[in-house]
């Protein structure tokens, strides 16, 4: 296995690299300068000594991983300021964004000032939105610290904040200068957060790469033990797979990017109706994938044994494959919530469904009666992951 991986996201003039390493935070500033020298817009900054950064991190990470970034910058002669936001979705607000603009004005930031996001998906989304909008664009680097951010939110260029009426309603597509992923951040990640990220990794195997799915099946022990070698491999491959989709549908105009939402139509409904926070996103996606696979079975799209493989892998990784015991959701409410899903068109339900391990398609106008049949059938399934605790 490789000690490091370099994943290229090929988007013409917006192309960038994702560096996947372990215990190499001391190399962060050197990597950043390499990325800048490779980019015509910022090549002269380093040579002319214009090395100024603005770090945005959350309160949980301010004393954990951020000091390592600061130490690396200091060793290479950078100047920087660090802004600390509160952890959680409340920081994805225009009020918080405005306060970050104020800090940038105070430090006289310009278009050569590098904005560095150190944190999970919330920090990356908020910091990326600041970068996209301040002086119409700052160079932006992602340093994701959660597994979910490693393989999902840090890749693809989606940045944004929430509106009181909906999540991520205000945003942009804004690609970073680079993404620096160090698996050492996962050593301190809480168990549920870690396993939540594993669900998205399994998703990539189901939707795009049967050999990758098989690799996950063969490396369950390494995944459960957070082996750096295994993690570098699966994170890099997940990033490669998402990059392949983003390269073909950067701005979500062809519909291809919708395949990344396998399991999410069910998952988003479960998340909302259980109350946000009751189920973590990855937990809901894990359950949602099985519901979607069973729906695919009923449409004769996939064999039962392929659903079973998903169940066995997810359970082996400590993830739920059915709603927690005692959860009583109304099927009418679930279906109504699904109709709010962004893949729904004209009130007609659309689902991303597997046709085999390694391939999914978007299916339009799935009958409500069939969806209801799946909901009723799986609602009677006893939770089978005994050690899963909410």
Q: Catalytic site residues?
A: 136, 158, 200, 242, 252, 257, 261, 264, 268, 281
* 31 has binding-site annotation: no
* Residue 249 is labelled as binding a ligand: no
Residue 17 is labelled as binding a ligand = no
Is 304 annotated in a binding site? The answer is no
Q: Is 385 annotated for ligand binding?
A: no
34 is in an annotated binding site: no
**Contact call for residues 313 and 202 (beta carbons, < 8 A):** yes
What is the 3-class SS of the chain, one letter each residue? CCCCEEEEECCHHHCEEEEEECCCHHHHHHHHHHHHHHCCCCHHHHHCCCCEEEEEEECCCCCCCHHHHHHHHHHCCCEEEEEEECCCHHHCCHHHHHHHHHHHHHCCCCCCCEEEEEECHHHHHHHHHHHHHHHHCCCEEEEECCHHHHHHHCCCCEEEEEECCEEEEEEEECCCCEEEEEHHHHHHCCHHHHHHHHHHHHHHHHHHCHHHHHHHHHCHHHHHCCCHHHHHHHHHHHHHHHHHHHHHCCCCCCCHHHHHHCCHHHHHHHHHHHCECCECHHHHHHHHHHHHHHHHHHCCCCCHHHHHHHHHHHHHCCCCCCCCCCCCCCHHHHHHHHCCCCCCECCECCEEEEEECCEEEEECCCCHHHHHHHHHHHHCCCCCCCCCCC
The annotation status of 124 as a binding-site residue, yes or no, is yes
Residue 35 · residue 16 · CB < 8 Å:
yes
Which residues are CB-neighbours of 386 under 8 A, at least 6 positions away? Answer: none
Query: Is 120 among the annotated ligand-binding positions?
Result: no
158 labelled ligand-binding: yes
Does residue 57 have a known ligand-binding role?
Answer: no
Residue 11 marked in a binding site? no
| 229 belongs to an annotated ligand binding site | no
Q: Spell out the residues 6+ positions from residue 260 whose beta carbon is closer than 8 angstroms to its own.
A: 203, 207, 242, 245
Q: Is 163 annotated as a binding residue?
A: no
343 appears as a binding residue in the annotation: no
Strand 351-356 and strand 5-9: the pairing is unpaired
Binding residues: 121-125, 145-146, 158, 167, 185-188, 200, 264, 281
Binding-site positions for NAD(+): 121-125, 145-146, 158, 167, 185-188
| Binding-site residue positions for Zn(2+) | 200, 264, 281
């Amino acid at each position: 296995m490789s000690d490091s991986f370099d994943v290229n996201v090929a988007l013409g003039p917006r192309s960038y690299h994702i560096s996947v390493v372990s215990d190499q935070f001391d190399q962060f500033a050197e990597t950043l300068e390499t990325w800048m020298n490779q980019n015509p817009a910022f090549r002269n900054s380093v040579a002319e000594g214009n090395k100024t950064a603005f770090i945005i991190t959350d309160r949980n990470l301010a004393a954990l991983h951020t000091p390592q970034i600061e130490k690396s910058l200091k060793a290479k002669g950078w100047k920087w300021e660090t802004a600390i936001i509160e952890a959680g979705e409340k920081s994805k607000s225009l009020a918080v964004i405005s306060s970050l603009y104020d800090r940038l004005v105070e430090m006289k930031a310009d278009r050569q000032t590098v904005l560095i996001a150190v944190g999970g998906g919330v920090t990356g989304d908020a910091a990326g939105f600041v970068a996209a909008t301040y002086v119409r664009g700052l160079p932006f680097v992602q340093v994701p610290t959660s597994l979910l951010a490693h393989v999902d939110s840090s890749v693809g260029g989606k940045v944004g904040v929430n509106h009181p009426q909906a999540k991520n309603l205000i945003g942009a597509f804004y690609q970073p200068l680079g993404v620096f992923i160090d698996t050492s951040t996962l050593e301190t990640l809480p168990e549920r957060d870690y396993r939540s990220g594993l669900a998205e990794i399994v998703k990539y195997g189901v939707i795009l790469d049967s050999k990758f799915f098989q690799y996950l099946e063969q490396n369950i022990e390494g995944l459960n033990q957070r082996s750096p070698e295994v993690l570098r491999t699966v994170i890099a491959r997940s990033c490669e797979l998402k990059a392949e989709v983003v390269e073909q549908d950067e701005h979500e105009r062809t519909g291809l990017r919708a395949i990344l939402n396998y399991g999410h139509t069910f998952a988003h409904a479960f998340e909302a109706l259980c109350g946000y926070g009751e189920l973590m996103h990855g937990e809901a996606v894990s359950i949602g994938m099985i519901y979607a696979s069973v729906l695919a079975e009923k449409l004769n799209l996939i064999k039962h044994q392929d659903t079973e493989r998903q169940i066995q892998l997810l359970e082996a990784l400590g993830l739920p494959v059915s709603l927690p015991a005692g959860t009583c959701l109304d099927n009418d409410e679930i279906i109504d919530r699904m109709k709010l899903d962004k893949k729904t068109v004209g009130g007609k339900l659309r689902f991303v469904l597997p046709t085999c391990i390694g391939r999914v398609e978007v299916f339009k106008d799935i009958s409500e009666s069939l969806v209801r049949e799946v909901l009723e059938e799986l609602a009677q399934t006893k939770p089978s992951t005994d050690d899963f605790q909410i």
